[in-house]
Amino acid sequence: MTGRLAGKIALITGVGGGMGVAAAHRFAAEGARVVGCDLDAERAALTEKAVRAAGGEITVMGGVDLGDPEAARAWVDAAVATYDGIDVLYNNASTQRFGSIEELGVEGWDFTMRNELDLVFYTVRAAWPHLKAYGGGSIVNVGSIAGMRGVEFMPQNAHSAAKGGVIALTLQLVVEGGPHGIRANVVSPGMTETPNTAPLLADPPERMRRVVLDRIPLGRHGQAADVVSAALFLASDESSWISGANLVVDGGASVLG
């Protein structure tokens, strides 16, 4: 690794699984002091142990429900105090419910908004005064191509709306954060392999293969490392004059409409 985040303090949410694990490892390997969190305390502890074993500097807090605004604030305050600063806030954590407009209930809608959009707002709001006090920093939010277009192979009403909200929120953060040296950008993944999607990708339904996988110009679905590499760039000083970007990481699939 090249130390692209050397000396930086990075707060990363959802480090207990999938892209969050990859992010914790990569950011620490690039020299960041990482403070992570996850709702699952056991998996959070495993990530902390693995990153430290690899030589990274990390502190992980488990049992953190970022959908609770007070819990989100408490984690951010504790995270900033851990290394006395903040340079990066990487809003990776999310979970959702899927369903068609006729089938998705209000409970599923509210659950998805809470755990994909609300928690981003809560963590950003909690981090904002710290970012201002320390002279700015980089916010990296995770969107989705589902927040930019309709998705053919499965109904994603709440997920699409929530991720569209994350993208729109980020644009406003750009305007309000600029005078304080705060940058805000989005990484929007396409079909990416995670523990949740791995079984689906191992034996994809014919419709999913036809309308999604077979139409990716680069010929493969994404890996967690693909998304994390994009987030790393946006977190680093290499992107110091980039704010308001939505970096789509989907193998070129979205250009096909």
Question: What CATH number does residue 92 fall under?
Answer: 3.40.50.720
How many Å apart are CA 174 and CA 136, to the nearest integer? 12
Q: How many CB atoms lie within 10 A of CB 113?
A: 18
Say what the pTM is. Answer: 0.94
- From the number of C-beta atoms within 10 Å of its C-beta (0-12, 13-18, 19+), residue 3 rates as exposed
Residue 129 included in any domain: yes
User: Tokens for 74?
Assistant: 């408490």
* Backbone φ/ψ region at 244: left (φ over 0), alpha (ψ -120 to 50), beta: left
Residue 43 included in any domain: yes
**Phi, psi (5° rounding) for residue 141?**
-105, 150
Gap between the terminal Cα atoms of the chain: 36
How many Å apart are CA 113 and CA 128, to the nearest integer? 21
How many Å apart are CA 79 and CA 102, to the nearest integer? 41
pLDDT in tens, the chain (257 residues): 679 999 999 999 999 999 999 999 999 999 999 999 999 999 999 999 999 999 999 999 999 999 999 999 999 999 999 999 999 999 999 998 988 889 999 999 999 999 999 999 999 999 999 999 999 999 999 999 988 887 776 778 999 999 999 999 999 999 999 999 999 999 999 888 887 777 777 777 877 777 778 888 999 888 999 999 999 999 999 999 999 999 999 999 988 86
Residue 27's domain comprises: 9-250
> What count of residues does the chain have?
257
Q: Is 221 helix (H, G, I), strand (E, B) or coil?
A: coil
Strands (E) located in the chain: 9-13, 33-38, 57-62, 88-91, 137-142, 182-189, 246-249
Q: Is 148 helix (H, G, I), strand (E, B) or coil?
A: coil
**Residues contacting residue 172 through CB under 8 Å, at least 6 positions apart:** none
Residue 255 included in any domain: no
Residue 155 included in any domain: yes
* Beta partners for residue 183, in sequence order: 138
**Residues contacting residue 257 through CB under 8 Å, at least 6 positions apart:** 149
Per-residue confidence (pLDDT) for residue 257, from 0 to 100: 63
Question: Total structural domains in the chain?
Answer: 1
User: Tokens for 26?
Assistant: 């990569």
Residue 257 included in any domain: no
Q: Which of 24, 146, 11, 143 is nearest to 79 (CA)?
A: 11
H-assigned helices in 156-236: 157-177, 198-202, 206-211, 224-235
Per-residue confidence (pLDDT) for residue 193, from 0 to 100: 80
Residue 4 included in any domain: no
Residue 221 included in any domain: yes
Residue 3 included in any domain: no
